[in-house]
Amino acid sequence: MTTTSDLRSSTSSPLVEDLDASGILTSIRSRKAAEDQAAADVLALAAGWADLHPPESLHSAASFTTTGGLGREHEEPIAGPGCPLVAEFCIAELGTVLGITTTAAKKLIGHALELRHRLPRLWSQVQTGAVPAWRARAVAETTIHCSPSLTLEAAGWIDAQVAAVAGKIGPAQLDRLLAETLKRYDLAAPDPAADPEDGWQHVDPRHATIDTHDVHYAGTLHLEADIDLADGLDLDRALAHGAAVQKALGSDLSLDARRAKALGDLARTQTALDLFTQGSASAKGAHGLPAAREVVLHAHFDAHLTADGQTMFGPTGRLENGQRLALLAQLKSWCGDSRTKITVKPVIDLTRELSAPGYAITDRIRDHVILRDTTCVFPWCTRPARGCDIDHITAYDHQADTEHRPQPGPTDTRNLAALCRFHHRLKTHTAWRYEMTEPGTFVWTSAHSHRFARDRDGSTALDPPEPPGLPRPRRP
């Protein structure tokens, strides 16, 4: 049996300085083959991990939350029909051992199960080294999330087509193959919009989409929209007018930039609210204009006092929205509008301990924890702390006061941490435990006694390296 130690000894790295051009190419090829084999092993082990952790019920199975028609959220299995279900909480430990997020671990297990159960030819090619794991995973990702869902028979037909070319298929070819599969197996629902006579009556194409998650380093967002013809013409005239006003006032920006600023002005002035009396009719500003909707940005900049007592801010800071770098000049330009409301909160000393009587968490304590932790404190989780729960690390005992016992889990910044909803549930319902060793530094212990540290700089595995001689998974 080939072991990890055998693999290491057979591929030990020579000094690069001792290799000629041919030797470098030979060595790098062998390392790439070892990398592909390791990726295939990881898939096999991930499937084995799933086999060890079936869910107790359908409600405790791992799934993805997706948005379907009409913007409604629904749960979608991590692999296609015919694959076994997996207990949701087992995935976190696999992810932490691999040093990846829980979501990434969920995808890994889903791909492994999809390949093994619904794409068996491609799975076999991965395990024999004929197809690299990353290429097979791309196919699995597509077949898992195909809409409508592929039956086991339809997935098998795709498997046969892809395996016939040893997985050498690109995204465009795969999309065409999926379209053919849906037609071949009568899976596609009738498209009423396809009728050129009256199909337009069945579909409303209007939308206005703003990608708030993809923030450019220039501080911009992308938006696109399909709107009524009359609305579009009115908007075009409004943008042209706004751009002309800016130019008349001395703006030297390009026409495109002035039109973009005019669109932002429309968002702030809310002229449409004059037509739709939302809320109080007296909600007017000093200029007689409707009050703008509130858009909150949390920006953090370092500051210091000069010798003459002036406050000086650093040129760069951090914007919580999107976890992006922010320039002070950008912030000044955003705040330059006379109708922008600016709230400067007092500095919170993160070294000072705050506490509150009872279970409820005060706003000041919540802000302290959010600023200290910045994200969910579970290893490798990146969910922003402002959208997380505030967890009592040691559970609050609601009976302690009435029974005159010391409170084991006080509402104190030394006993509070930011956890996203999933990892909060993980900590509550499983054997995972954690402690705060110093402010902002946490040590987690998994159900299988693996330990991880998480601080403001990231996450680190505390377990010693795996002993040599571990067997590789057996091939099916």
Residue 338 scores a pLDDT above 70: no
Q: What span, in angstroms and rounded, lies between the C-alpha atoms of 161 and 163?
A: 6
Once rounded to an integer, what is the mean pLDDT over residues 104-125? 96
Q: What span, in angstroms and rounded, lies between the C-alpha atoms of 250 and 254?
A: 12
Confidence of residue 5 (pLDDT cuts 50, 70, 90): very low
Flag whether 265 is in a domain. Answer: no
Q: Do residue 450 and residue 306 come from a single domain?
A: no
Amino acid identity, position 112: A
Residue 247 scores a pLDDT above 60: yes
Site of tokens 């405790």? 60
Residue 474 scores a pLDDT above 60: no
Supply the pLDDT for residue 273: 38
Flag whether 104 is in a domain. Answer: yes
Q: What span, in angstroms and rounded, lies between the C-alpha atoms of 231 and 318?
A: 37
For residue 386, the enclosing domain spans 355-461
Q: Do residue 326 and residue 447 come from a single domain?
A: no
pLDDT tens digits, one per residue of 249-279: 888 889 998 999 888 888 766 443 333 333 4
Flag whether 232 is in a domain. Answer: no
Once rounded to an integer, what is the mean pLDDT over residues 25-41? 94
Residue 203 scores a pLDDT above 70: no
Other beta carbons within 10 Å of 378: 30
Flag whether 260 is in a domain. Answer: no
Q: Do residue 312 and residue 370 come from a single domain?
A: no
Once rounded to an integer, what is the mean pLDDT over residues 175-183? 88
CA 396 to chain centre: 30
How many Cα atoms occupy the beta-carbon half-sphere of 322 within 13 Å? 17
**CB under 8 Å to 377, separation ≥6 — which residues?**
417, 418, 419, 434, 442, 454
Flag whether 439 is in a domain. Answer: yes
Residue 367 scores a pLDDT above 70: yes
Q: What span, in angstroms and rounded, lies between the C-alpha atoms of 367 and 331?
A: 21
Which of these ranges, 38-52, 167-181, 446-460, has the smallest mean pLDDT? 167-181
Region class of 270: left (phi > 0), else alpha (psi between -120 and 50), else beta: left
Name which of 79, 86, 95 is nearest 60 in CA terms.
86
Confidence of residue 67 (pLDDT cuts 50, 70, 90): low
Supply the pLDDT for residue 52: 96
Once rounded to an integer, what is the mean pLDDT over residues 28-51? 95
Buried b (16+ CB within 10 A) or exposed e, 333-347: ebeeeeeeeeeeeee
Structure tokens belonging to residue 391: 């967890």
Eight-class DSSP state of 327: E
Report the length, in residues, of the chain: 476
Q: What span, in angstroms and rounded, lies between the C-alpha atoms of 256 and 252?
A: 11
Q: Do residue 317 and residue 383 come from a single domain?
A: no
Confidence of residue 241 (pLDDT cuts 50, 70, 90): confident
Q: Do residue 168 and residue 40 come from a single domain?
A: yes
Q: Do residue 62 and residue 173 come from a single domain?
A: yes
Where does 33-116 show beta strands of DSSP type E?
Answer: 63-67, 73-77
Q: Is 402 exposed, middle or buried (0-12, 13-18, 19+ CB in 10 A)?
A: exposed
pLDDT tens digits, one per residue of 273-288: 333 333 444 444 555 5
Higher pLDDT: 269 or 401? It is 401
Once rounded to an integer, what is the mean pLDDT over residues 194-207? 64
Supply the pLDDT for residue 349: 76
Sign of the CA dihedral running 268, 269, 274, 279: positive
Structure tokens belonging to residue 393: 């690390």
Supply the pLDDT for residue 299: 76
Q: What span, in angstroms and rounded, lies between the C-alpha atoms of 52 and 50?
A: 5
Among 141, 167, 184, the domain-final residue is 184
Query: Which H helix or E strand runs over 257?
Result: helix 255-269
- In contact, 360 and 350? CB cutoff 8 Å: no
Supply the pLDDT for residue 344: 66
Q: Do residue 321 and residue 380 come from a single domain?
A: no
Number of structural domains found in the chain: 3
Flag whether 129 is in a domain. Answer: yes
**CB under 8 Å to 244, separation ≥6 — which residues?**
none
Report CA-CA distances (Å) from 281 to 269, 276, 290, 291, 466: 15, 10, 9, 10, 68
Q: What span, in angstroms and rounded, lies between the C-alpha atoms of 214 and 211?
A: 6
Supply the pLDDT for residue 330: 72
Once rounded to an integer, what is the mean pLDDT over residues 411-435? 96
Once rounded to an integer, what is the mean pLDDT over residues 41-62? 93
Q: Do residue 178 and residue 81 come from a single domain?
A: yes
Higher pLDDT: 449 or 15? It is 449
Among 163, 184, 205, the domain-final residue is 184
Name which of 219, 417, 475 is nearest 327 in CA terms.
219
Which of these ranges, 215-224, 411-420, 423-432, has the smallest mean pLDDT? 215-224
Among 184, 207, 233, the domain-final residue is 184
Supply the pLDDT for residue 238: 87
Site of tokens 């990353």? 134
Higher pLDDT: 203 or 276? It is 203
Which of these ranges, 231-240, 292-301, 459-468, has the smallest mean pLDDT? 292-301
Where does 341-413 show beta strands of DSSP type E?
Answer: 355-356, 389-392, 411-412
Q: Do residue 312 and residue 395 come from a single domain?
A: no
Higher pLDDT: 476 or 360? It is 360
Supply the pLDDT for residue 266: 82
Q: Do residue 31 and residue 150 come from a single domain?
A: yes
Q: Do residue 69 and residue 130 come from a single domain?
A: yes
Residue 319 scores a pLDDT above 60: yes
Phi and psi for 8 in degrees, rounded to 5? -65, -40
Higher pLDDT: 335 or 221? It is 221
Residue 164 scores a pLDDT above 80: yes
- When the pLDDT of each residue in the chain is averaged and rounded to a whole number, the result is 82
Flag whether 37 is in a domain. Answer: yes
Q: Do residue 37 and residue 172 come from a single domain?
A: yes
Q: Is the pTM of this model over 0.85?
A: no
- In contact, 165 and 180? CB cutoff 8 Å: no
Flag whether 257 is in a domain. Answer: no
